[in-house]
Amino acid sequence: MASLFPPDDILLAALLAGNEADALARAAELEAGGEELGALIYGTTKRALARWIRRNAATDNWAGASIPLNAIAPGVVDTPMTSDMIKTPQQREAMATMVPMPLNGIFEPRSVAYLLAWLAGEENAHLCGQVIFIDGGSDVVIRGDATW
């Protein structure tokens, strides 16, 4: 769901162009600019990945080879990556303000695993080029009708 936050346009363009040297240089500039600018790197890379999937999923290399290329966009999952950010009730409340998840809040990795298993399974024969938000409603709250 980090792909929903505003990206750094320069980094995004470099990533989408496949220009690793420019992407790394821009990421270094953002990191050197402090925590707020550095935080743009994560969401921008997620947005670039989502766009790459949309641009490539229906190609001969993927759909033409009967490979369903899709992605998931999880909300806040209780993992080692997030554990320090959600330790206390105050931290959980602050996270819920930043990442509103009205359907059951912060969740366990198992929910993501079930979705991934279906996406990678033979039952998924037609879902192509989608980014599926498994986020307790963050996408709905943040973007509302904006996708339509």
- Tens digit of pLDDT for each residue in 1-57? 777 778 999 999 999 999 999 999 999 999 999 988 999 999 999 999 999 999 999
Phi, psi angles (nearest 5°) of residue 106: -60, 140
Domain count, the chain: 2
Residue 2 pLDDT = 75
Looking up tokens 């509302």 gives: 144
Tens-place pLDDT, residues 46-87: 999 999 999 999 999 999 999 999 999 999 988 998 989 999
Closest CA to 30 of 15, 18, 42: 42
Please provide the size of the chain in residues.
Answer: 148
Residue 133: give its domain's CATH number.
3.40.50.720
Q: Tell me the pTM.
A: 0.82
Is residue 98 pLDDT above 90, yes or no? no
Co-location of 98 and 33 in the same domain: no
Q: How many C-alpha atoms does 39 have within 13 Å on its Cβ side? A: 6
Neighbours of 21 (CB within 10 A): 8
Co-location of 30 and 90 in the same domain: no
From the candidates 42, 58, 61, 118, which is the catalytic residue? 42
Co-location of 73 and 44 in the same domain: no
Residue 54 pLDDT = 95
Residue 30 pLDDT = 96
DSSP state of 75: -
Is 42 a catalytic site residue? yes
Co-location of 83 and 139 in the same domain: yes
Domain ranges, residue 40: 1-56
Is residue 148 pLDDT above 80, yes or no? no
Structure tokens at 7: 């990206």
Neighbours of 75 (CB within 10 A): 24
Residues 6+ apart with CB under 8 A from 92: 86, 105, 106
113 contacts 121 by C-beta, under 8 angstroms: no
Residue 111 pLDDT = 94
Residue 146 pLDDT = 77
Q: How far apart are CA 73 and CA 4, in angstroms?
A: 10
61 falls within a domain: no
Co-location of 44 and 83 in the same domain: no
Co-location of 75 and 135 in the same domain: yes
